[in-house]
Chain A
Amino acid sequence: MRLDFLETGPALLVEENLRVLVAGDLHLGIESDLSRHGLHIRSRSRQRKERLLSCIESSSPDLLVLLGDVKHNVPLTSRQEFQELPGILDALRSRVPITLVPGNHDPGIEKFFHEGEILSKTGALIDGVGYIHGHTYPDPSLQGHLIIAGHHHPMISIRDEVGCALRAPGYLLAGVDDVCLQFPASSERETGETRVLFIPALNELAGYDIIRTAKEPFSPLSRCMKTEQSEVFLADGTFIGPLGSLEDHGDADGA
């Protein structure tokens, strides 16, 4: 299996028998929610669509997996979403078959998708790789596979000696504990280690410090991951090191 890190998405191309393009957490409609909270910015959905289209362009995938939270507003669907979603999804469909693993922001998304495009929110196995949004316990069929998950919007902060930081979206790979994930203890299947790869949000306004996710996990996957075996990458695939290497050096040096 090959992974291509598409920095412009950010998105991920998973290549085995199929070429699967994965993008998570579009949160289309976020602007109308921000506006309700006092931040008025013009909708940037068009740019997000274009970033995604350019990923499709450059990677010519066989399938686009949207990893949940395509829309933003819950429980109601905003006018912005009604206006923007059909056009954007059609633009994607016209280039590549699409499929959705629904996320926690997706109630009401059915009306925008065609029959058969929506998979289970507990995840699906495609071409040997598990795909899940990441707010639920994963389906047992994902056990022993690499599980690609959204929902966590990983952001990476890097500090130098003086303490100023680079903040950028990134990826986190970690092993996960099968028992903790409530996978049935099945003996006969040939299981590799179950691992999870958290992917960054395509929505550029979303982002959550990865260290905090590790310290205060808020989902089954983040609670069950083995942080000591973790690996962190930037959006372009640059290997940063284990999660522990991101700790504040300003403090760690002299302590």
Chain B
Amino acid sequence: METQTALDRRVQDCIRARGFSRLSEIQEKAIPLVREGRNLLLVAPTGTGKTESAMIPVFDAMMSKTGGGFCTLYITPLRSLNRDMLQRLEWWCRELGLRVGVRHGDTTQTERRKQALHPPDLLITTPETLQALFMGKVLRKHLANVRYVVIDEIHELAGSKRGAQLAVALERLREYSGEFQRIGLSATVGNPEEVGRFLCGARDFSIVCVPVTKHLEISVDFAGDSFEKQAAWVSRAVGRHESTLVFVNTRVTAEALGHKLYHRGDVEVHHGSLSKDVRIEAEERFRSGSVRALISTSSMELGIDIGRIEHVVQFGSPREVARLVQRVGRAGHQMDAVSRGTVLATGFDDLLESLVIARRAKAGQVEDVNIPLNAADVLANQVAALAVEYRELSRQRIRDIVGRSYPFAVAGNLVDEVCTQMAEHGLIRIEGDMVRSGGRSRRYLSSNLSMIHDERKVVVFDMVARKTVGTLDESFVVGFVHTGAVFITKGQLWRVLDIEEGRIIVEPAKKAKGELPSWEGEQIPVPFSVAREVGSLRRSRDFSPYHPGERPLEFASRFLVEMDRNRTKVPHDTLITLENAPEGVVCNVCAGHKANEALARVLSILLSARYGTTVGIEIDAYRIYLRLPSSVKAADVREILCSLDPAHLEGILQLAMKRTALFKWKMVQVAKKFGAIDPDADYERISTHRLVEIFDGTVVQKEAYRELFSVYMDVPAAARIVSLVRDGAIDVVVSPLSILGAEGLFASRDQISPPAADQAVIGTLKRRLEQQEIILACMHCRNWKSRTTVSRVPEPLRCPFCGAGLVAVLKPWEEPLIAIAKKKGKNDEERAVAQRLLRNANIVLSGGKKAVTALAARGVGPENASRILSTLAEGDGFYREIIRAERNYIRTRRFW
């Protein structure tokens, strides 16, 4: 109460008018700290009045200041949040006589001009628009007035490159405004201290934490594994409550579920692919109560106000604890009220995972936000921004500014590395210690204000039917599609005929072996910690700490009993099972998506090196599926897995990733952010293949690796599994294919090609030699000759007439030599021919099939063949010797 009465009268009036009889717990705690001028991180679930906790003291302070505008910046990650925030804050500002404005990508030119002339006291904006503010001279002047910066949903930003960019922007802002007060609003995270550092750098700050978890009531249910039953369950659940928010993990599920429940007439779908109008309409219909359920993807996770939500349904495992907490936190939406949510699990993995996540949510074991440190492309972007902002400045000053931000606090000589690379591709100029903006800097900056990669869509045009088939993501096209490539879209195979500007010309293809990569970017990875606990639950089979309902428990027990009855081992946290499947080996490893991704790629490159074959990989949180030729078995995989050294993983992965489409795509993205490639670049001028080589060994490549190894995979976690295997803490056994190993939908993924490019050359050579036509001639009885191909030569080779093994192998054009050898009364030249044939046959007699193969090669006669055989080279080495001989022949042959 004391806190409240200390505020400006007009602010107190507003609080009363807003219908708050008293301040909430978080407000009581936060307001005095903000009034004291402390930097503050507020960690609380959505809907507990976080915004007001931050803004009431800020409004209070703004009442006593007469600024020239831009006193407070309120930064949110989403435009849609700005819209919502504007509505909420507009009321306060109107009552308090403050001017408020919103500025983001959709803001009109008129509005922007107005803001430049009469800056509002409170500006609501996005990180990207903040970047744009630095570009205008007038706006920059206004930035000197900033006293408060509030960052809403900071946990969303902190974990991304957008956040790293924002952190630097705050330090650039400080150059104009001097120190300002920083307030971050965050959902529950595992590492609030570090998020605070992200907000403030090395400055002091306080954290006010409202534990979300005690207000959560989460249960897990199971309704069978058919979608029909699951949809019916959702329909019943919707019927039981006034208002329900149904979260699904993918847009496809949202659409499918929406279709099933459409007949009810009181359910709407809400996801990112729908147009803005459709989404706003759905939000409004829900708020007004005319629909009782909204089916939504992550688009509804953030604090968009859609009124009271009584119950949250999570369709399928939420994959992460943070996500479940955030989603269920949407229910209740009144301070102190309990949030109720139910997870509907859809299968065995899904059920165990849901139980684990629900338990961890209630215990407050939320995941950490992974803050990207030293992202070189973000640094490049900000160096360019600084160069444009100041025209010229010293590298020391750049180091000082970016070094104050947490993401670049320990950057070593990254600034220099980045500057050198940028000067190399002409984005900035370096003279001594000074960095100057270059001719392209400003244009680069206006098209690169955002660290979000905007994906172009490329149209796929079917040449045969002469119609558009659909669109592909640019990333897919850049990394994988080349002339002659075969890929799948709309469930059909296509072959690329031509790539034009923004368009791929294709024809239907008959067949392609192996899986083809596609990027379904909606897969939410299951963290290591969750997957490990699922593993331990599989081992203990003790469900009591998880309080499952009757149906889930019965289903899980039945599944485990069936595994036992089939005499298939249940893989768990200390047991990895390797199962031989029809087209490869399933490795059951409870390590989560990212660790499995790393592990799969390591296994695949090693298998591919050892067996000289391409290995396809598919992964999920609990298994790795290696697509292998039938000759490579689970025992072979076991041998490689058990001999891995955890210290070598990263090195192996660097090699492994270099040839993948994913890496190439990442490189292009990073190069774009570095300003080496324009957003609208015409890739067809140069193959990506070449492009990737250009950046070999540069800081661009380093950043692409950094991001791959921290965002797309978890190398340290994979190394932990490997060392547990090494120490014997995890057993690795070969086991028959189980229902668990075969479970799960495998998304098609990348392939790893064999290590040396010459593998492909050798493959071609083998095929050519096997199909090579040859003539066999017996040199013993001299009565038999036969025209055949190398592949059809029997082993051992004998003359069918006399049974001798003395058979010469000739090329078709050497056939006349046989007659010469049979002649009686030869001249010197003819005698030499006969001798050569005899020598040829002798080599075949002693060398067998290998000799036949060698003699079938281009320009390889008895001399060369015996030299090749004498090297005793086997397998690939043998073929390499043949290649060498052919090369030599071609170089020197007469008929050039």
Contact = CB atoms under 8 A, between A and B. Distances in A.
Interface of A: 1-5, 14, 33-35, 37-42, 44, 146, 157-168, 204-205, 207, 209, 211-212, 233-234, 236-241, 245-246, 248-251, 253-255
A241 B682 contact: no
Interface in B410-429: 424-427
20 contacts: A2-B896, A34-B686, A38-B682, A39-B685, A40-B425, A40-B426, A40-B427, A40-B675, A42-B426, A160-B760, A161-B514, A161-B614, A207-B690, A237-B890, A238-B761, A239-B883, A248-B484, A249-B767, A250-B486, A251-B510
Contact of A41 (B425, B760, B886, B892): B425
Contacts of B483: 209, 212
A80 B613 CA distance: 45
A241 B764 contact: yes
Contact of A255 (B511, B675, B676, B886): B511
A237 B887 CA distance: 5
A38 B751 contact: no
B686 A39 contact: yes
Contacts of A251: 486, 495, 509-512
Contact of B764 (A42, A236, A240, A248): A240
A166 B764 CA distance: 11
B508 to A, nearest CB: 12
Interface residues of B, number: 57
Contact of B687 (A4, A164, A207): A207
Nearest to B511: A254
Contact of B685 (A2, A34, A238): A34
B513 A163 contact: yes
Contacts of A211: 484
Contacts of A238: 761, 883, 886-887
Contact of B514 (A166, A167, A240, A250): A250
Contacts of A160: 613-614, 753-754, 759-760, 763
Nearest to B614: A162
A52 B146 CA distance: 60
Interface in B464-512: 483-484, 486, 495, 509-512
A187 B177 CA distance: 91
A19 to B, nearest CB: 14
| A33, A38, A234, A239: most-surrounded residue (chain B CB, <10 A) | A239
A162 B515 CA distance: 8
Given A237-B890, A250-B486, A41 B676 contact: yes
A254 B514 CA distance: 13
B677 interface: yes
B674 to A, nearest CB: 9
Nearest to A16: B896
| Shortest Cβ-Cβ A-B pairs, 9 listed | A38-B681, A38-B678, A162-B614, A162-B514, A166-B760, A164-B753, A158-B760, A1-B896, A40-B425
A153 B634 CA distance: 45
Given A37-B682, A160-B613, A164-B753, 6 more contacts: A42-B424, A162-B513, A165-B760, A209-B484, A239-B886, A250-B514
Contacts of A166: 757, 760-761
B768 interface: yes
Contacts of B241: none
A10 to B, nearest CB: 14
A35 B676 CA distance: 9
Nearest to B690: A205
Contacts of B887: 5, 236-239
Contacts of A240: 761, 764-765, 768
A159 B509 CA distance: 16
Nearest to A242: B768
A42 to B, nearest CB: 5
B691 A250 contact: no
Contact of B891 (A37, A161, A237): A237
Contacts of A157: 484
Contacts of A37: 681-682, 685
A39 B685 CA distance: 9
B617 to A, nearest CB: 12
B512 to A, nearest CB: 5
B511 A2 contact: no
A63 B765 CA distance: 35
B630 to A, nearest CB: 12
B506 to A, nearest CB: 14
- Interface centre among A160, A204, A234, by most chain B C-beta atoms within 10 angstroms, is A160
A240 to B, nearest CB: 6
Contacts of B680: 38
Nearest to A160: B763
Contacts of A168: 757
A167 B688 CA distance: 12
A241 B768 contact: yes
B362 interface: no
B616 interface: yes
